[in-house]
């Protein structure tokens, strides 16, 4: 049904197959002909990172990104300093496993204004950049859907992410464009173009928006199941110069209940048909 | 704790006290010193509208708006024509009870693109405007939160609503600004200013965004319970020239479970303290 060439750019997030541990993800993705993965940090706890790196190489799997850093916002300065340390540890981990990029969920705090949070985010990334550069690990701001503005990310549009990236103006900071978070925005095409002109498109994430969506976190759809014009957005991203992996990042209680090997086949089909 | 003057501009949506029927809303709002209400259409079913109008007058209650018209989008043309007829009926009802305004939830259809839906929305409003003008009933586009883009409203930012209102450029079409839907937008202040310059701020709705929000429809908060800078947004709206009623529109399973008379007192307090 597909050949290996079709899957050349397919990347799967380990959280997409949440029931699997890291070892199973690596074996199963490899067996399925997948060549890229993004690794969620909790799977690296109590792991020997050199061995993880070797296992990935043995399975010819390339790490697209480590997910996720960020959460720079807090009312107290000591909490914000602690967040910088957590991010440095994430950078260390990314370097150790050979991940060239960390995706940032930037944070928000319901006890302060969005403007304050946005300023803290820019400050936090600014402070991290020398450390990231020394480790040769890039940082991608991921604007989230506005429904997460209160507590997960004060950055809720590509325009805002572009503003921050332009303000920081550093080759190690760019943006992760996720169709789930941004599809509703009628400025999306022009902001993707702007992002591309800045060489700031560091990652591209796909899934779908179900109608109705029954849960704000874990009811994403597989590409083709929902309302997002994934192919159109991919086309905009590629017109803007992006040629990296297409990352499938789906959180879904419904899909996690499936046999995950069968689900991985559905992902490959959906990637070929609807992405 | 409050005097009647403080409440001069307070308006309550009947859906905020959903457990009450229309008669109870009218009696209880009036007893509480509330002078404005917005009426949800389902409460008018099987009612004698002339009597409703008289009862409102007897209780010195002024109707701010009838909620809601809209839902202009559909793949089939016959469905779109049917929607126009439903909206004409809503306009008739508004005229009958003396409501000067209908709030439009504009619609979206998961089986077509957002661009198509937005064009259908502009066409639908355009078609309705002569009928609305003849009835002396204005129409307010309500941009909804982007989490409703798939199935409730393809208009999900004040910028988009301003675009459509400017395109239609008619004194009977304007905008309902609801803090719940728009608070996350860093363009909000400037778009409110633009809206005011066009004399397009037809309504202003308040409530709060809870963190965490546990339900995408019915987990809104009372002003002061959440993260929205309600006073700041009210200030922007008033700086832009709006001096109409401040409409409390809260859908909340949690708050609907309370004694609604006690809840109405909390609304008055929250209006005075946090709005």
Instruction: Determine whether the interchain pair B146/A147 forms a contact, defined as Cβ–Cβ distance below 8 Å.
Output: yes
Phi-psi region of B136 (alpha: psi -120 to 50; beta: other; left: phi over 0): left
The backbone torsions φ and ψ at residue B14, rounded to the nearest 5 degrees and listed phi first, read: -55, -30
Best CA proximity match to A49, nearest among A103, A95, A102? A95
pLDDT at position A6 is: 86
Burial of A48 (0-12, 13-18, 19+ CB in 10 A): exposed
Angstrom distance (rounded) from CA B33 to CA B272: 13
Q: Residue A4: which pLDDT band, with cuts at 50, 70 and 90?
A: low
Across chain B, mean pLDDT equals 97
The pLDDT assigned to B4 comes to 56
Burial class (CB in 10 A: 0-12, 13-18, 19+), A62: middle
Q: Do B118 and A156 touch (CB under 8 A)?
A: no
State how beta strands B220-221 and B208-209 pair. antiparallel
Q: Note if the pTM is more than 0.80.
A: yes
Q: Mean pLDDT across the stretch A48-61?
A: 98
Cis peptide bond prior to B187, omega within 30° of 0: no
Report ipTM (2 d.p.).
Answer: 0.96
Q: How far apart are CA A177 and CA A154, in angstroms?
A: 16
Helix (H) or strand (E) holding A172: none
Give pLDDT, residue A60. Answer: 97
Question: Minimal Cα–Cα distance from A68 to chain B, Å?
Answer: 20
Intervals of chain B under pLDDT 70: 1-5
The confidence score (pLDDT) of residue B272 equals 96
Phi, psi of B248 (to 5 degrees): -90, 110
Question: pLDDT value at position B79?
Answer: 98
Q: How far apart are CA B144 and CA A248, in angstroms?
A: 28
**pLDDT for B3:** 59
Under 8 Å between Cβ of A40 and A75: no
Tell me: pLDDT of A269 over 90.
Answer: yes
Distance CA B22, CA B267 (A): 18
**What is the CATH topology of the domain spanning B4-274?**
TIM Barrel (3.20.20)
B226 with A160: Cβ contact below 8 A? no
Ordered by start, the domain boundaries in chain A are: 4-274
Contact at CB, A151 and B212, closer than 8 angstroms = yes
Let me know: does B34 contact B17? Beta carbons within 8 Å.
no
Q: Which helix (H) or strand (E) holds B174?
A: strand B173-178
**What's the CA gap between A164 and A175, in Å, rounded?**
10
Residue-wise pLDDT for A96-130, tens only, equals 999 999 999 999 999 999 999 999 999 999 999 99
Task: Map tokens 């549009």 to a residue.
Answer: A157
Query: Which B-chain residues 185-244 have CB contacts (< 8 A) with chain A?
Result: 185-186, 209-213, 216, 226-227, 229
User: Vertex B194, ends B190 and B197: CA angle to 5°?
Assistant: 135
Q: What is the pLDDT of residues A221-252, one digit of tens each?
A: 999 999 999 999 999 999 999 999 999 999 99
Residues of chain B contacting residue A149, judged by C-beta atoms under 8 Å apart:
183-184, 209, 227
* Helix, strand or coil, per DSSP, at residue B118: helix
Residue-level pLDDT at A202: 98
């Amino acid at each position: 049904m597909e050949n290996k060439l079709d899957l050349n750019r397919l990347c799967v997030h380990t959280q997409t197959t949440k029931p699997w541990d890291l070892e199973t993800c690596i074996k199963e993705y490899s067996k399925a002909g997948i060549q890229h993965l993004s690794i969620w940090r909790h799977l690296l706890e109590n792991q020997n990172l050199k061995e993880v790196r070797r296992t990935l190489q043995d399975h010819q799997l390339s790490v697209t990104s480590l997910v996720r850093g960020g959460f720079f916002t807090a009312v107290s300065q000591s909490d914000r300093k602690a967040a910088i340390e957590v991010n440095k540890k994430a950078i260390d981990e990314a370097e150790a496993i050979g991940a060239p990029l960390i995706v940032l969920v930037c944070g928000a705090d319901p006890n302060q204004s969005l403007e304050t949070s946005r300023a803290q985010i820019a400050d936090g990334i600014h402070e991290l950049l020398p450390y990231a550069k020394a480790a040769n690990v890039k940082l991608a701001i991921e604007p989230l859907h506005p429904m997460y503005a209160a507590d997960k990310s004060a950055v809720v549009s590509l325009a805002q992410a572009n503003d921050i990236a332009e303000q920081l103006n550093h080759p190690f900071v760019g943006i992760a464009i996720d169709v789930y978070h941004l599809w509703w925005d009628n400025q999306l095409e022009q902001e993707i173009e702007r992002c591309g002109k800045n060489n700031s498109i560091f990652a591209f994430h796909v899934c779908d928006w179900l109608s109705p969506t029954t849960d704000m976190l874990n009811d994403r759809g597989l590409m083709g199941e929902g309302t997002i014009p994934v192919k159109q957005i991919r086309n905009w991203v590629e017109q803007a110069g992006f040629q990296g992996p297409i990352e499938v990042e789906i959180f879904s209680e419904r899909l996690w209940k499936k046999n995950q090997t069968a689900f991985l086949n559905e992902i490959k089909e959906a990637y070929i048909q609807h992405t």
